[in-house]
Structure formats: C-alpha cells, structure tokens
Amino acid sequence: MIYFLKDLNLKGRAIGVMSTRKNVAKAAGIILALGIVSRILGFVREQLLAVKFGATGISDAYVAAFTIPDFLYNLLVGGALSAAFIPVFSSYLARDEEEEAWKMASTVINLVIIIMLFCIGLGFLFTPELVKLVAHKFTGERLNTTIKLTRIMLPSVLFTGLNGFLMGMLNSYQHFFTPALGSVIYNIVIILFGYFLAGKLGITSFALGVVAGMVLNFMVQLPSLARYGLKYRPIIDIHHPGVVKMAQLMIPTLLGLAVSQINLIVNQNLASGLSEGSIMALRLANRLMYLPLGLFASAISMAIFPTMTGFAARGEMDNFKKSVAMGIKSIWFIILPAQVGLMVLSVPIVRLLFEMGEFTPAMTRATAWALVFYCVGLFAHSALQVVLRGFYSLHDTITPVTTSLLTIFLNYLLNVAFIRYLGHGGLALGFSLTGIFNFAVLLWLFRRKVGSIYGKDILISGVKSLLASLLMGVTAYLIAGELSGFAVTKHGQLIQVGAAIAGAVVVYAATTLLLKMEEALFFLNLIRKKV
C-alpha cells in the first residue's frame, strides 16, 4: 500500500492521498469489525438450521425458498444499487449538489416501492411457477413446503430494496457503521426465531425470522440517515438527470447480475436432481467460502468505492488506478491464505461448525467436498469486487454485462461436464472456473480502458502471497493431522482447528514479513500504532 504514495510530486497532494488511505482503512475497519460479528452470527444461524433439520429435504426446501429473496438482495443491494445509485448520488455530493442528490434518491425510492409491491403481488399468485424455476425437480412434500416458505418470505423483498438505498446513501456520506450493524441485527433476529420457535413452527420459524430481521434492519438505519438531514420527498420525476443516468447504469447492471444469479440457480436446479441434502451441502459450503469474501473482500471494496468514485468524478485517474491496485493487492494478501486454509482444513472446519444434532459425518464429508471446489475460484471472486467497482466508478456497466452473458453458457457447460464425475462438487468447481474466467476477462478489459493499473506490482504481491499461503497450508495440514486424535469431541475439534489456524497465521505472518511485503509491513505498523 505504501506505493500508493509514490510518484506524487506535490506535498499537499501526498498528504491528501495519505488521508484518503487512512479514511479507507478506517471505513474498512468498521465494516470488517461488524462484518466479523455478522458472519459469526450467520454461521450460528446456519449451524442452528443444520442442527435442527440436518441436510435433508426440509432444509433443502428452505434453501430453495430463500433463493428468490436472496436473488433480489444480491441484485439490488449487492450490485445494481452499488453500480448505479452510489456513483450517481456520490457524484452529486462531491459537487456539493445535495438537494439534487435527494431529488434523484426520492424519485428512485418511490419507483422501487411501487415496482416491488407489484412484484410481490405477482409472486404470491405465481409462487408454484417461481419455485419450479429454482428447483424444478422438487415433488411432493418438498415442493409444498418450498411454496409455503417462499410466500412467507416474499414481503422481505420490499425491505431488501429499501435497505439497499439507505445503505447506499449512508455510505455516500462516508458512514459505514449503521449499515453494517443492520446485518448483525438481521442475523440475531433469525437466530432468535429459529431457536425459540422451531419446536412449535418447524422450518417456518426461520422464514418468519427472515422477514422480521429485514424489517428491523431497515428501522435501525433510519435514525442515522436522519442525522445527515433526511430530505426524502413523495415525488416521482422520471426526467431528472440523475434518475435518467441511474437508469442507464442500472439496466445493464441488472442484466449482468441476473446472469450471475442465474448461474447459481442453474447449479441449484441441477443439484435438485441429486440425493437429498445436496442443496444444503452446497449452501453451507458456499457460505463458508463467502466468509472471507464477505468479511475482507467486500469490506475493502465497499470502503474504497466512494473514494474511487470521487477520484473518477474529479478526473484524478492516476490516483484512481492506484486505488484499484491497492484494493486488489490488499484483498489477495488476506484472501489467498484464507483460500488455502479452507481447502486444507475443509473437513475439520465443517465438522467443528456443523456436525451435531441431525448433521451426520456423511453430511460433513459432502459439505467439505463442495467447499474444496468452491475455494478454487475464491481469489478471482474476491478481486472481481474491486474491478467491478472500478467500472462502476467510471459509469461503465455495459462491459461487465457483456462478459457476464458469456458466463451463463460457460457455467452450464462446465456444470454438465463435471457433475457426472464429481457430483455436487462438480457444480462448485464449475462456479469457481466461471468466476476465474470472468475476472480474467474483466481485468484485461479494464486495463485496456484506463491504461496501466500497476499490474507488475499486483502480480508480484499476488505471487508472494501465494507462496506464503502454500507454506502456511502445509503447516496447517501437518498440525491438524497430528491432533486428529482429539477430534472425537467438540472441545477436541476446537483444539485441532484452533491450533492449526494459529500455527498457520504465525507462519504466514513471518513469511510475508521475510518477503518484505508492503501489505504485511502496513498491517504490522497499524498494529503497533494501535498497541
């Protein structure tokens, strides 16, 4: 990260960049801290689901029903709003045009409310048809349960969209605490509903928890936005330049993100024809894979996004490109060891987290099998978060859509090819290879668009991180093997996994410091300052 300050000729400009980096680090720290809490709670939520119902037809029904609200969440919050709303809203704020920013925001919010209510109504009417889209091989009780749970969770879609707008506006004001806190509250509510009501309501308790959690997530963000001067108006001005610009950006982005979600739905449909529990195994493995991605990659990319947008809006392209390179290097420094660690310790980690109650050793092996293949593409899916936001900062959403369209066919071909040999693990491998392809193509196109992005620095940093990660992986494997005799009890499993991770962290830290990696030195200095 130190290179981010190089080649700046003016002292004042260097101070500004240093201040920017500190602000990004602070924002990422806030998102990361609450993200860790949220992810831990997310695992408690998944663990509770696994313990109560195991990897069975009932849990498969819940996962399939959750696909539709999850699809819309990733479409709206995870992408379209980030790609379209935040850049436009932030651009108005950067030009001190706050009044226009709120006119645009009010119009878009009102339009989304109307559209969402209409879609929810249609969803209630055509729920059986929707379920067939996400799990077309479900029959009997599994199908009926999925339809019932889908209808319960549909109202959460409205608050999903509203939460996305609140998050986008707060992030544009450089406020990251409350949006991150909202996800913590969301998980707590689902856990409470599942823990206290599962005995009476069964799997329905988790569906009700999703709705209640999303409502509370929305309510907790309102007071924070009010402190910045909530200027919402009940207006719809579709001719407002900001609304027009956002529509131009959002439509192709929605198509691109829909492609990504379609890939997951294709995987789920193929898995619905496998043995019961395959969908649940894929979900748990996917959640484990997304743990480092959600904690670190998303935290860094979200924190740096408003800064990137500001650089692009002011035409400071050198700083813009350096911020992109900084984001990729920082993400790989953390993600590569996490990727290797999850692959090496897949069985011990899954066993520790989920093997209890209705979750059997066979389910552990099935989940670990999928986890290994999901992790193959973790580095690409993580770095893709920064590259996409690089395009979005430049108000270019067409390019990501074009490459995403290609992934539909690639993902399907790979899944069909691998599933016959690797089962549900083949679906995970197809997803990973598709992500690697998407990242490689977009990175190449991004470089062609903006010129040099300090690729040599990124490559050297990535190779060093990978070498250190491989050495770390060998260490973790040997420690876990030596302590395998302890893995007959939960305390023993905790000792096995904890010791392996602790040893791995020490080896990785020592190796990266010996290699004199800038990221390692940066984090070491940061820790020293905090101490």
Interacting residues of 408 by C-beta distance below 8 A, sequence separation 6+: 259, 262, 263, 266
pLDDT of residue 1: 40
Interacting residues of 525 by C-beta distance below 8 A, sequence separation 6+: none
pLDDT of residue 443: 93
Q: Nearest 5°: CA angle at 477, between 471 and 480?
A: 140
Interacting residues of 312 by C-beta distance below 8 A, sequence separation 6+: 320, 393, 394
Q: How confident is the model at residue 2 (pLDDT cuts 50, 70, 90)?
A: very low
Per the prediction, the chain carries an average pLDDT of: 83
Do 120 and 158 contact (CB within 8 A), yes or no? yes
The 10 Å CB-count burial string (b at 16+, else e) for 286-323 is bbbbbbbbbbbbbbbbbbbbbbbbbbbbeebeebbbbb
Between residues 455 and 27, which one has the greater pLDDT? 455
pLDDT in tens, 204-258: 999 999 999 999 999 998 898 888 877 888 899 988 998 888 887 777 666 666 6
Q: How confident is the model at residue 259 (pLDDT cuts 50, 70, 90)?
A: low
Q: Tokens representing 408?
A: 């539909």
What is the distance between the alpha carbons of residues 153 and 157, in angstroms, rounded to a whole number?
Answer: 8
Backbone angles phi, psi at 154, to 5 degrees: -55, -40
What's the whole-number mean pLDDT along residues 433-449?
A: 92
pLDDT of residue 256: 61
Q: How many of the other CB atoms lie within 10 Å of CB of 211?
A: 20
pLDDT higher than threshold 80 for residue 32: no
| Single pTM value for the model | 0.70
What is the distance between the alpha carbons of residues 492 and 483, in angstroms, rounded to a whole number?
Answer: 8
3-state secondary structure of 6: coil
Do 293 and 435 contact (CB within 8 A), yes or no? no
Q: Position 69: which residue type?
A: P
Q: Position 519: which residue type?
A: E
What is the distance between the alpha carbons of residues 106 and 237, in angstroms, rounded to a whole number?
Answer: 9
Do 314 and 88 contact (CB within 8 A), yes or no? no
Q: How many of the other CB atoms lie within 10 Å of CB of 61?
A: 27
pLDDT of residue 9: 36
- The whole-angstrom distance between residue 405's C-alpha and the CA centroid of its chain comes to 20
Q: Label residue 10 left, alpha or beta by phi (over 0 means left) and psi (-120 to 50 means alpha).
A: beta
Count the residues in the chain.
531
Interacting residues of 263 by C-beta distance below 8 A, sequence separation 6+: 407, 408, 411, 431, 434
Between residues 257 and 500, which one has the greater pLDDT? 500
CA nearest to 354, candidates 85, 68, 24, 59: 59
What is the distance between the alpha carbons of residues 7 and 321, in angstroms, rounded to a whole number?
Answer: 13
CA nearest to 261, candidates 63, 74, 424: 74
pLDDT higher than threshold 50 for residue 12: no
Q: How confident is the model at residue 170 (pLDDT cuts 50, 70, 90)?
A: confident
Q: How confident is the model at residue 77 (pLDDT cuts 50, 70, 90)?
A: low
Dihedral sign computed on CA atoms, order 250, 252, 253, 259:
positive
Q: What share of the chain is helix, strand, coil (3-state, %, to 5)?
A: 85, 0, 15
pLDDT of residue 83: 62
